[in-house]
Amino acid sequence: QTTNVGRNDCSDRHGGTSAAAPNAAGIFALVLSVRPDLTWRDLQHLCVQTAVPVTTDDSDWKQLPSGRLYNHKFGYGKLDAYALIEAAKVFKPVGPQTWLELPSPFKKRSIPDSTGLKTRKALKSIVHVTKEMVQAAGLLRLEHVTATVNIEHQRRGNLVINLESPHQVRSELATRRNLDKSTDGIVNWKFMSVKHWDENPVGDWTLYIYDVDNPESRGSLLNWTLTLYGEQDPEFKGTPIHSTTGFHQDQEHEITVTTTTPTSTPTDIDDTPSRPTRIKPDIKTTTHLDSSTHTPNPDEEDQLSSEQIESPGEYLTVVYAVFGSMGIFGVAVGIYFYKRDSWHLPDPIDRQQPRPDGYEFDVLQPLTELDEEDEDDNESHERDRLSRNNF
């Protein structure tokens, strides 16, 4: 029952997280009354293990390598309070959390435009995870993953961002938002997904970025960071290596993704869900990626050429700035020595003469002291004049 539909009346239109959060909080309170020792990560595991799929005729339900079903609208399904509490009674708490962070190098890469196309072009960035990286982090079991993304774009709502795991499980991180006209782009936005729960993280993790509307509004990927969170292996000894700067190898190029879109209108892109999920860098290692066979496309050649042209200009600008600053400094020093003698004030008759071994500021006196001495001299002369007149 809600308070906004009239007295003694109920509504079946109240949904979303506003309705789910209080219901989930009540169920979790019941679980903690039985097992007060459980942590927030324990409850996450229990939710994933006991969730019940709903509206199973929805086409977005996909079976995962773990055997579970997942839907971008419903997640793993609805909470089953009874099953959750019963499972909690015998649940073994998970071990400490660990993580593996893989930042891609900063490299500005243009995002191809896919406006009105039946086949969409994507900018694809690959991060390769090795078994050695996972072992060095002490990662036993994968829980959630995040992708922290930096993109420049003239109209943020045109972007579609997906993350694909080594097992071809694709998480939809960002979908087209028609009302988002911001020119700020995406600055350190951290997208999270629990769709890859319990997956083996070894292999290629691929970020797909599409620009699906308005060819006049273009953008570029600057960099992104993949972070894998999970349970630490109880057999792990030593200090986990969380950041893999030096292990990372990145490969980027444009690809063409064929869709089943019957028409060329942007609204018919079937990879975009009807309801977006709201979720508020390099030692060369041996991988199966063969960069020697990669043929740069025209966009990449243009970008490389522009980078080569811009580099000398930036170098010359720095050189000119350094020599210009040195020239200005030299002129200022010359003027100082040329004008220095003219800055001395003429010494009064009765002023103390400067010592040969002294500094300029040893003989300079404040203006007020000079005034007082002048006044004393005037008074002395006046007294002498009056004395002579009296005689």
* Model pLDDT for residues 264-274, shown as the tens digit of each residue: 333 334 444 43
Residue-wise pLDDT tens digits, 91-140: 999 999 999 999 988 888 888 876 666 667 889 999 999 999 999 999 99
Q: What are phi and psi of 323, to 5 degrees?
A: -70, -35
How far apart are the C-alpha atoms of 50 and 47, rounded to whole Å?
5
Residue-wise pLDDT tens digits, 198-233: 999 999 999 999 988 767 778 899 999 999 999 999
Structure-model confidence comparison of residues 309 and 121, the more confident one: 121
Q: State mean pLDDT over 28-51.
A: 97
Task: Look at the pTM and tell me if it is higher than 0.75.
Answer: no
pLDDT at 276: 37
Nearest to 52 by CA among 18, 19, 87: 87
Domain residue spans in the chain? 17-89, 97-294
Please identify which residue in the block is written with the tokens 């997280």.
17
Q: Are 101 and 137 in contact (CB under 8 A)?
A: no
Residue 380 reports pLDDT greater than 90: no
pLDDT at 222: 93
Let me know if domain 97-294 sits in CATH 2.60.120.260: yes
The share of the chain scoring above pLDDT 90, in percent, equals 46
Nearest to 224 by CA among 159, 127, 365, 366: 127
Nearest to 221 by CA among 139, 168, 149: 149
Residue-wise pLDDT tens digits, 325-340: 777 777 776 776 666 6
